[in-house]
Amino acid sequence: MTVELDWENLGFAYRKLPFRYISYYKDGQWDEGDLTEDSKLHISESSPALHYGQQGFEGLKAYRTKDGSVQLFRPDMNAERLQRTADRLLMPQVPTDKFIEACKQVVKANDDFVPPYGTGATLYLRPLLIGVGDIIGVHPAEEYIFTVFAMPVGNYFKGGLAPTNFLIQDKYDRAAPQGTGAAKVGGNYASSLLPGNYAKDKGFSDVIYLDPATHTKIEEVGSANFFGITADNEFITPYSPSILPSITKYSLLYLAENRFNMKAIEGEVRLDELDKFVEAGACGTAAVISPIGGVQHGDDFHVFYSETEVGPVTRKLYNELTGIQFGDIEAPEGWIVKVD
Ligand code: PLP
Ligand code: COI
Task: Give per-residue pLDDT as tens, 55-99.
Answer: 999 999 999 999 999 999 999 999 999 999 999 999 999 999 999
Fold adopted by 7-153:
D-amino Acid Aminotransferase; Chain A, domain 1 (3.30.470)
Instruction: Tell me the catalytic residues.
Output: 184
Ligand nearest to the CA of 242: 1
Residue nearest ligand 2's atom 8 by CA: 223
Question: Under 8 Å CB-to-CB from 45, ≥6 apart: which residues?
Answer: none
Q: Tell me the pTM.
A: 0.97
Q: What is the CATH number of domain 164-325?
A: 3.20.10.10
Crossing angle, helix 247-260 and helix 312-325, to 10 degrees? 110
- Counting ligand 1 atoms within 8 A of each CB, the residue from 207, 248, 253, 290 with the most, and so the one to mutate, is 248
What are the residue ranges of CATH 3.20.10.10 in the chain?
A: 164-325
Output the DSSP codes for 82-111.
HHHHHHHTT-PPPPHHHHHHHHHHHHHHTG
Q: Is the CB of residue 238 below 6 angstroms from any atom belonging to ligand 1?
A: no
pLDDT single digits (tens) 17-67:
999 999 999 999 999 999 999 999 999 999 999 999 999 999 999 999 999
Closest ligand 2 atom, CA of 59?
3
CA of residue 90 to ligand 1 center, whole Å: 21
The rounded percent of the chain whose pLDDT value lies above 70 is 100
Cβ(224) – ligand 1 distance below 6 Å:
yes
Beta bridge partner(s), residue 122: 153
d(CA 173, CA 177): 10
Residue range 217-250, pLDDT digits in tens? 999 999 999 999 999 999 999 999 999 999 999 9
Measured CA to CA, the distance from residue 150 to residue 16 in angstroms comes to: 8
Q: Is 285 in the pocket of ligand 1 (CB under 6 A)?
A: yes
Atom 9, ligand 2: residue with shortest CA distance: 286
Q: How confident is the model at residue 340 (pLDDT cuts 50, 70, 90)?
A: confident
User: Which ligand 2 atom lies nearest to the CA of residue 60?
Assistant: 3
Q: SS3 of 318, please?
A: helix
Round the average pLDDT of the chain to a whole number and report it. Answer: 97
Nearest ligand, measured from the Cα of 284: 1
Lining ligand 2 with CB less than 6 A are: 59, 223, 284-286
User: What DSSP designation does 211 have?
Assistant: P
Question: Could you give the residue range(s) of every CATH 3.30.470.10 domain in the chain?
Answer: 7-153
Nearest CA to ligand 2 atom 3: 59
User: Which of 62, 97, 61, 91 minimizes the C-alpha distance to 79?
Assistant: 97
Percent of the chain topping pLDDT 90: 98
Measure the CA–CA gap between 284 and 224, rounded to whole angstroms.
Answer: 5
CA 276 vs CA 269, 283, 296: distances in Å: 10, 19, 17
Q: Give the integer Cα–Cα distance in Å for 261 and 187.
A: 38
Q: Please report the pLDDT score of residue 160 as a whole number.
A: 83
